[in-house]
Structure 1
Amino acid sequence: MTVRFGIIGLGGIASRFAGVLKNAEGTSLAAVASRDMERSEAFAKEYNAGRAYDNYDALLQDDEVDIVYVALTHNFHYDIIKKCILQGKAVLCEKPFVTTQRDADELIELAKEKNVLLMEAMWSRCIPAFRKAREWVAGGLIGKPQLVQAAFCFHIPFDAEHRLFNPELAGGSLYDAGVYPIEFATGILGENPVEVSGIAHKCTTGVDDFTVINLGFASGALASLACGLNARVSQDAIVYGTDGKVVVYNFLGAHKTERYNENGELLETFEEEFEDGFIYEIQHISELYRNKKIESEYIPLKDTSACAGIFDKLIEKWQ
């Protein structure tokens, strides 16, 4: 069965997705949509899409689209996801899914009610190295987890109109970058936090441009996370346990993970090479669709809701 994708929002991330989709076995790009027909047609030509539209509703009404990949800026996610669900279209939405837990929970309940597949595009959780690290931690191979450290910070010149700095486009490092270490921590531990705190530095537009996040879990594990727009920071994530540690190198798109004992001696290495980690996300949601699933076991909707709840708590503290 060929799974047919439609893409809404044709920016840089959509181009990356469409490029990987070209080489994903058992899939096709049925249609693309933006608010500009010239742009849609150019994108369709470059990535071999079946049809191009200049409005989103037309794509949603296309019977030959099975899964809609939502690649719009964060502020548009809620409205378009809701339309997709009501139209009966499976949804793969770029992170962050939405920016409030209320919106997340409403959409999740609607998808369950309509029996529609819904998944946040947290592609890093689908990568084999992450899955192996998760297996080691869940299997007790480093003892009881004590501390998770992860950060996604990069440097981009300040521009008040850029989506990352523009509050009207749900800008800020927390929404765009913080979602990765948060969902790394919840995914690797297999639980969501009971305590949330953090400190943010805000730029002149009022959004956070650097943030430190602390999470506490019912198991006793803690997480120390960071996200930012002003400096590059190591993207190697570490999970420390009572009997050792797991290192996930470049955790956003990890090719390698290693397990050490409590004395720092290397016990096990797992490595898998790939060109672009989006391929695993595409394969995963395609298989879910073929099997008539409405939720991913890799990116369960409870984690998507919990992440939005963390946003709520932090934003409330910073106001």
Structure 2
Amino acid sequence: MKQVNWGIVGPGGIATDFAQAINEVNGQIFGVWGRNVEKARGFADRYGVEHVYEKTEDMFKDDRIDIVYIATPHSIHYSFIIDALNSGKHVLCEKAITMNGEQLQEIINLAESKKLIVAEAMTIYHMPLYKKLQDIIQEGKIGKVNMVNVTFGSCKEDDPTNRFFNPDLAGGGMLDIGTYALSFTRFFLSSQPTELHTTVKKYETGVDEQSGIVLKNDQDEMAVVSLAMRAKMPKRGIVAGDEGFITVDNFPRADKATITYTSDGSVETIEAGEERRALMYEVEAMNDLILNNKENWTLSLSRQVMSLMDVARQKWDLTYHFE
């Protein structure tokens, strides 16, 4: 079988984990680029990368690279994705894939015109547990889904110069942790919400520090999402039906969930996959898309999640995200 050659843009923390994942599934990291060339060379030495590029355009134009993994801050994802696509490369990009829906739609149109694959590195879409939970819901084990509830609180250092609170770097909770919460929400709702109500508390720099979001779709399924960047909360998702509810803790990379049944209060544990393989599942999925021409079903979910984030941020008057 043909091997997929990966190029990595941005050899930071998440790229380190991703490189390990590629190597563990016997993949090939052909090249790396970083703003700091010495750091990129150190990265290459650690993970057996053949080439270090001093310019991204040199990587993108190298015919030996099939797919580019972009692990830079999300404020600059768009330009790298556009350049990679224009050079004929498939792209897997860290979350949030773009700053807004307009950028993402332009990327989708470009990828379609060039018959290339673009996907967001959203672990939720590839963890085996979620496919198993969807099957359980389709079987009717928790009855009709009525409500989804998600909490995610990350207590970052109270520092306005930190990238998490820097408006010039698209700081704030929505594009950092909100992507996970809304991806979980949309994954389990039958259709895209058509109603969104929200309120926000802004940090002193003007970005969203904490927020509450209420959603409803045409099937009258509702969701409540709570986000915080200065208050620790569990990464917990709940999918509630009229005959039981599913609880997923540490939901971004979950391999275990419980079902609590309404009739007798009994609890069933559901397990699938392994948390430690979260990034490996992403690598395997992209390899499958490229080599076997599988359907890229996750991109439509990423687009719908981005649309929800756009609406919420517009209601919060966070216009810097749309410049």
TM-score range, shorter chain: over 0.9
Partner amino acid, structure 1, of 2:85: I
- What one-letter code is carried by the residue in structure 1 that aligns with 2:22? L
Q: What's the counterpart of residue 173 of structure 1?
A: 173
1:282 is the counterpart of 2:283: yes
Provide the residue aligned with 1:212 in structure 2: 212
Task: String of CA shifts for 1:263-284, please: whole Å, max 9, x gaps.
Answer: 3322452244342411111111
Q: Is the 8 A contact 1:130 1:251 kept in 2?
A: no
Query: TM (normalized to structure 2)?
Result: 0.93
TM-superposed CA distance for 1:189, in Å, is 2.3
Matched with 2:303 is 305
- Map of 1:141 onto structure 2: 141
Given that 2:197 and 2:215 are in contact with CA atoms closer than 8 Å, whether structure 1 keeps it comes out as: yes
Question: Does residue 8 of structure 1 match 2:6?
Answer: no
Give me the CA root mean square deviation.
1.5
Spell out, residue by residue over 1:264-316, the C-alpha distance to the aligned partner (whole angstroms, 9 max, x if none): 322452244342411111111111111134x523x2x2221112211221111
Give me the whole-angstrom Cα distance separating, in 2, the residues matched to 1:161 and 1:69. 27
Local SS of the residue matching 1:40? helix
- Residues 267 and 157 from structure 1, CA distance in 2 versus in 1: closer, same or farther, beyond 3 angstroms? closer
Q: Count matched residues.
A: 315
Mapped partners of 1:289, 1:271: distance in 2? 25
Within 2, Cα distance between the matches of 1:135 and 1:4?
A: 33
Q: How does 1:157-306 map onto structure 2 within 5 Å?
A: 157-263=157-263, 264-267=265-268, 269-293=270-294, 295-297=295-297, 299=298, 301-306=299-304
Determine the structure 1 residue equivalent to 2:62. 62
Moved more, 89-98 or 242-251: 242-251
Give TM-score scaled by structure 1 length.
0.94
Kindly provide the CA deviation profile for residues 103-123 of structure 1, in whole angstroms up to 9, marking residues without a partner as x: 111111111111001101111
- Mapping for residues 73-92 of structure 1, pairs under 5 Å: 73-92=73-92
User: How far did 1:149 drift?
Assistant: 1.0
Q: Secondary structure at the match of 2:258?
A: strand
Cα 1:292/1:272, change in 2 over 3 Å: closer
Contact 2:234–2:249 (CA under 8 A) maintained in structure 1:
no
* One-letter amino acid matched to 2:304: A
Match of residue 19 from structure 1: 20
Match of 1:277, SS state, is: helix
Rounded Cα–Cα distance in structure 2 between residues aligned with 1:186 and 1:203:
27
Distance 2:90 2:138 in 1: 30
SS in 2 for 1:142: coil
Residues 193, 216 of structure 1: 8 Å contact kept: yes
SS of 2:164's partner is: coil
Equivalent AA in structure 1 for residue 234 of structure 2: S
Aligned 1:45-60 pairs, distance under 5 A: 45-60=45-60
One-letter identity of the residue aligned with 1:41: R
State the alpha-carbon separation in 1 of the partners of residues 192 and 93 from structure 2: 21
How far is 1:244 from its partner? 1.2
SS at match of 1:156: coil
Partner of 1:63, secondary structure, is coil
Structure 2 counterpart of 1:61, one-letter code: K
| 1:108 equivalenced with 2:147 (yes/no) | no
**Counterpart secondary structure, 1:22:** helix
| SS across alignment from 2:234 | coil
Quick one: percent identity of the two aligned structures? 31
Is the 2:190–2:219 contact (alpha carbons within 8 Å) kept by the matching residues of 1? Answer: no
